[in-house]
Amino acid sequence: MNALYLVFGATFGFILSRSRVTDYDTMMGLFRLQDFHVGGVMGVAIATTALGLAWLKRRGGMAVAGCPIELGAKPMQSGLFAKSIVFGAGWALTGA
């Protein structure tokens, strides 16, 4: 099973690399509001995930571990907004 995770992870990293999401200049363009390429990649990823989860939910999909997939709303956590600001600022400062 670990080999399967390795293949999925390597494929995901390759796709991110080919879409220039890991490029420093592309990330700086995003944070300077000059290049919205990364936003488009994120938008496609979110849409693909939403469609995939809706499909799994409709057909009663099972997780890799064999348990049923349960999709539900998650409660808001305290400090989430402040933590996301710190994460975004660190991302922008490092250009990663």
DSSP letter (8 states) at residue 32 = T
- Percent of the chain scored above 90 by pLDDT? 4
Work out the angle between the directed axes of helices 37-59 and 24-31 (0-180°, nearest 10). Answer: 90
Q: Is the pLDDT of residue 96 over 60?
A: no
Q: Is the pLDDT of residue 44 over 80?
A: yes
Residues 6 or more apart whose CB falls under 8 angstroms from that of 77 comprise none
Q: Is the pLDDT of residue 95 over 70?
A: no
81/5: higher pLDDT: 81
This prediction's pTM: 0.56
**pLDDT (0 to 100) of residue 47:** 92
Among residues 18, 58, 53, 60, which one has the least CA distance to residue 37?
Answer: 18
**pLDDT (0 to 100) of residue 72:** 77
